[in-house]
């Protein structure tokens, strides 16, 4: 009840009003007979209603309402008070007002700085029939209405009214702020209509609910509706009384705040006006229901939801549980993207996005074909192996597009914390799920294509070993029950297509490597780079720089100059960067209106990029004893190595320089031992080894070098040195050597052969066991290089050595 003290004033005013009902304070006759029609000024009310038999104060501030009072009150104190439908409206029209209102008598008017305050006594219900005037304020014909009272002999009606009165008295008794005088005044109200009007005016209910009670002509219907509101108020007051009884009179500020919060929650719950915390709990419950979670996950979520309901929102655990439940609700437990495998479309996408890579594309189409025939099968985990910039990541995107699945990339480079994969336990501050669960939550599907980029650059320290954590993730027979430590319930990863990328296999632990099928993406040849630049890179850079193909025409010679002099890579990433630099140079000139179009030539490339950045190792200009061209494989592709050996008088010492790794040092020593063991067969004086020092150097000393594949090159250099027979400058070689003189197979044949072709070499010597890799070499390599497979070092010498020169 909002203003229970007005009951006494209302009773007094009601009696006074009934004594003067035939005339207002101006002395003019006023008819308030039911059904009578009068023309009265209409005063709109925003959110407060006037009821018959009550006295209410109203603050008037609208200019139109102030003018109404100034002009109307001198003639008559009776006004029509009507609730407006939109309380924000400043000048409501008839359509914006409720039809029913109350005729009120202005008892007193008090002027203030910002308007006036009037004290009004409610006289009788009325209904607007028609509008007589709209400006400067509204006047209307109103019809007075009579409440329909129940028959006096109706016992049920009398019992219902008595029950309402008792409920009201009980409510007054539960309110400590209501005095005994007020209770006594209330007990004197006999008329049922007056009782309902006064109760309605003083109850804390919405204005629209009060308006419905005002419009109700049947008194008994008003009584029944009021009884429902009173029961609700009684329940709230009863809860308040119990809370007051259970709390000690002396308690700390913290206890006081807790008590008030509990009191507020109880009131809001009974009113159906749940607090934000309750709304949040209900919202989370609905989202969990929609998530279609497995039984284990649902049981866990239910337990946490029950905890959330009893934990105060100010508790630190509250936000932790909310974040956890929201994560569970947002995970795609049963959401799958529609997969449509069209092999012809897949081939078109691969051909559109990637030049060459025929063997790789063939393997990917086979992979997709198997998925089409057996969608539920557990396919292999593909691992794209190749140097930077060859298109490993974009191949994964093409697979996702061909399957119609969503794609995400997780960079594993430098990852050292196992929790990045398995998630953090919720006991830690700032805990969150692992990267896998986070990506699935972001994508909103359980079967995306996930690329694990740079898997060869995983680290490990005291926080765990991420590579070991990936063992479960990448095992198709285990990942259907993957348990992230944060969500702490199994999640099925078996529908995800995992694709890994790496630059080398050496740093990947053997158990993790065993779970993946390696698909090699070798570096591109010069001709392949030229075609990629013409068909993809140049067009993309022209588009990004706002140029058309007519404004910037690239010649093949210019692209070749960029490839040869400004890039040193197996892929095309830096090539695109240099093309962008030249394109920017032209775009700036066109923007300055210095030129309208340009044809890119090698001269313009040099003008834009400056002097050549790289001078590639080329073939030897002349043949000399002790100098051999070897072939090496790096993460940036193949490279040519010039191995140099010299001898000078000494005591048989042996020196190695060029920042050689342990494996390469062992290859040199094995080669020297082999040469000394075959000295007589090779026509070398055995005593020469004890009388000379030997120094083997591999230029570019700042670059680390390692690996066994330079074995036959080291052997040939030493034989050439001691026999004084030069090695042909057009020959390069690669292969591991044994102490028995056998030539063992090597890796990276394609990259090494491309490097030889780029350097102008005409013949390469390879191990016989690598002959199986020759069909996979680019056609350009097979056409322009003479490839000699060998089994022993004797065949190497026969193919590489030239006739002996005169000894100096």
What count of other Cβ atoms lies within 10 Å of the Cβ of residue 574?
18
Q: What are the beta bridge partners of residue 464?
A: 461
3-state class (DSSP) for residue 735: coil
What is the 8-class DSSP label of residue 523?
P
Known catalytic membership, residue 340:
no
Residues sharing a CB contact under 8 Å with residue 567, sequence separation 6 or more, in sequence order: 574, 575, 578, 613, 614
> Within 13 Å of residue 27, how many CA atoms lie on the same side as its CB?
0
What count of other Cβ atoms lies within 10 Å of the Cβ of residue 312?
12
What secondary structure does DSSP assign to 469-499, as a single string?
HHHHHT-TTTGGGEE-TTT-SEE--TT-EEE
3-state class (DSSP) for residue 551: coil
Whether 400 contacts 385, CB under 8 Å: no
Tokens 């909002």 locate to 2
Cα distances from 491 to residues 198, 288, 289, 481, 622, in angstroms, run 62, 15, 17, 6, 66
Please name which of 85, 148, 301, 122 lies closest in space to residue 200, comparing C-alpha atoms.
122
CA distance 54 to 14: 8
What count of other Cβ atoms lies within 10 Å of the Cβ of residue 483?
13
Catalytic residue among 709, 723, 728, 753: 709
Length of the chain: 808
Q: Give helix 343-353 / helix 392-403 axis angle, nearest 10°.
A: 150
Distance of CA 317 to the CA centre of its chain: 25
Known catalytic membership, residue 210:
no
Distance of CA 210 to the CA centre of its chain: 49
Whether 446 contacts 380, CB under 8 Å: no
What secondary structure does DSSP assign to 417-444, as a single string?
-THHHH---TTSTT----HHHHHHHHHT
Catalytic residue among 623, 667, 752, 753: 752
Q: Give helix 295-310 / helix 276-290 axis angle, nearest 10°.
A: 180
What secondary structure does DSSP assign to 644-679, as a single string?
EEEEEESSS-EEEESSB-HHHHHHHHHHHHHHHHTH
3-state class (DSSP) for residue 420: helix
Whether 668 contacts 676, CB under 8 Å: no
Residues sharing a CB contact under 8 Å with residue 183, sequence separation 6 or more, in sequence order: 169, 172, 173
Please name which of 580, 579, 694 lies closest in space to residue 644, comparing C-alpha atoms.
694
Structure tokens at 431: 């805990």
Residues serving a catalytic function are 709, 752
């Amino acid at each position: 009840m909002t203003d229970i003290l007005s009951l006494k004033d209302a009773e007094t005013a009601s009696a006074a009003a009934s004594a003067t009902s035939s005339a207002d304070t101006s002395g003019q006759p006023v008819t308030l007979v039911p059904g009578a029609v009068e023309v009265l000024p209409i005063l709109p009310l925003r959110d407060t209603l006037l009821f018959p038999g009550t006295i209410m104060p109203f603050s008037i501030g609208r200019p139109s309402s102030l003018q109404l009072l100034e002009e109307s009150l001198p003639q008559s104190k009776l006004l029509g008070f009507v609730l407006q439908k939109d309380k924000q409206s400043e000048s409501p029209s008839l359509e914006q007002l409720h039809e029913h209102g109350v005729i009120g008598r202005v008892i007193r008017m008090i002027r203030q700085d910002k308007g006036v305050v009037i004290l009004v006594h409610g006289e009788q219900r009325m209904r607007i029939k028609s509008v007589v005037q709209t400006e400067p304020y509204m006047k209307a014909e109103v019809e007075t209405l009579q409440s329909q009272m129940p028959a006096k002999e109706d016992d049920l009606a009398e019992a219902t009214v008595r029950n309402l009165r008792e409920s009201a008295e009980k409510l007054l008794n539960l309110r400590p702020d209501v005095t005994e005088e007020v209770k006594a005044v209330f007990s004197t109200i006999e008329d049922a209509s007056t009782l309902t009007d006064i109760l309605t005016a003083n109850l804390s209910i919405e204005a629209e609910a009060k308006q419905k009670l005002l419009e109700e002509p049947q008194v008994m219907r008003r009584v029944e509706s009021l009884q429902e509101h009173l029961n609700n108020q009684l329940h709230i007051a009863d809860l308040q009384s119990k809370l007051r009884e259970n709390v000690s009179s002396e308690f700390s500020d913290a206890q006081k705040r807790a008590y008030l919060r509990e009191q507020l929650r109880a009131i809001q719950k009974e009113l159906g006006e749940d607090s934000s915390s309750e709304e949040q709990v209900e919202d989370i419950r609905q989202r969990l229901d929609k998530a279609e979670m497995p039984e284990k996950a649902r049981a866990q979520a239910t337990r946490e939801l029950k905890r959330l309901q009893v934990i105060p929102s100010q508790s630190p655990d509250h936000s932790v549980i909310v974040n956890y439940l929201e994560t569970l609700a947002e995970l795609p437990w049963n959401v799958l993207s529609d997969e449509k495998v069209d092999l012809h479309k897949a081939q078109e996408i691969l051909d559109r996005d990637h030049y060459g890579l025929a063997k790789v594309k063939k393997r990917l189409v086979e992979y997709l074909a198997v998925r089409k025939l057996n969608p539920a099968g557990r396919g292999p985990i593909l691992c794209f192996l190749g140097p930077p910039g060859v298109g490993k990541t974009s191949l994964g995107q093409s697979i996702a597009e061909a399957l119609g699945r969503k794609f995400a990339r997780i960079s594993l480079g430098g990852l050292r914390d196992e929790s990045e994969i398995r998630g953090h336990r919720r006991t830690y501050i700032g805990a969150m799920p692992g990267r896998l669960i986070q990506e699935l939550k972001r994508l909103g599907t359980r079967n995306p294509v996930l690329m694990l980029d740079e898997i060869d650059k995983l680290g490990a320290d005291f926080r765990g070993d991420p590579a070991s954590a990936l063992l479960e993730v990448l095992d198709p027979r285990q990942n259907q029950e993957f348990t992230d430590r944060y969500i702490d319930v199994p999640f099925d990863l078996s529908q995800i297509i995992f694709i890994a990328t790496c630059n080398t296999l050496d740093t990947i632990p053997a158990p993790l490597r065993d779970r993946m099928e390696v698909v090699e993406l070798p570096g591109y040849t010069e001709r392949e780079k030229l075609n990629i630049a013409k068909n993809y890179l140049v067009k993309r850079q022209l588009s990004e720089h706002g140029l058309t193909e007519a404004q910037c025409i690239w010649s093949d010679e210019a692209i070749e100059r960029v490839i040869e002099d400004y890039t040193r890579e197996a892929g095309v990433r830096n090539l695109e960067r240099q093309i962008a630099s030249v394109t920017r140079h032209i775009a700036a000139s066109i923007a300055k209106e210095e030129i309208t179009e340009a044809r890119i030539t090698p001269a313009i490339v040099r003008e834009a990029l400056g002097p050549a950045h790289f001078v590639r190792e080329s073939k030897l200009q002349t043949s000399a004893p002790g100098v051999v061209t070897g072939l090496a494989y790096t993460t940036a592709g193949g490279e040519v190595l010039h191995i140099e050996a010299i001898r000078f008088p000494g005591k048989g010492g042996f020196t190695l320089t060029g920042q050689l790794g342990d494996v390469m040092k062992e290859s040199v020593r094995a080669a020297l031992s082999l040469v000394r063991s075959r000295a007589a067969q090779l026509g070398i004086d055995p005593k020469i080894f004890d009388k000379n020092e030997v120094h083997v150097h591999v230029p570019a000393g700042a670059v680390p070098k390692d690996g066994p594949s330079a074995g036959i090159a080291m052997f040939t250099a030493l034989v050439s040195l001691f026999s004084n027979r030069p090695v042909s400058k057009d020959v390069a070689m690669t292969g591991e050597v044994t102490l028995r003189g056998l030539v063992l197979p090597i890796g990276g044949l394609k990259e090494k052969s491309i490097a030889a072709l780029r350097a102008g070499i005409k013949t390469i010597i390879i191990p016989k066991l690598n002959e199986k890799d020759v069909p996979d070499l680019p056609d350009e390599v097979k056409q322009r290089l003479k490839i000699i497979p060998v089994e022993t070092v004797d065949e190497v010498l026969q193919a590489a050595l030239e006739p002996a020169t005169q000894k100096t």
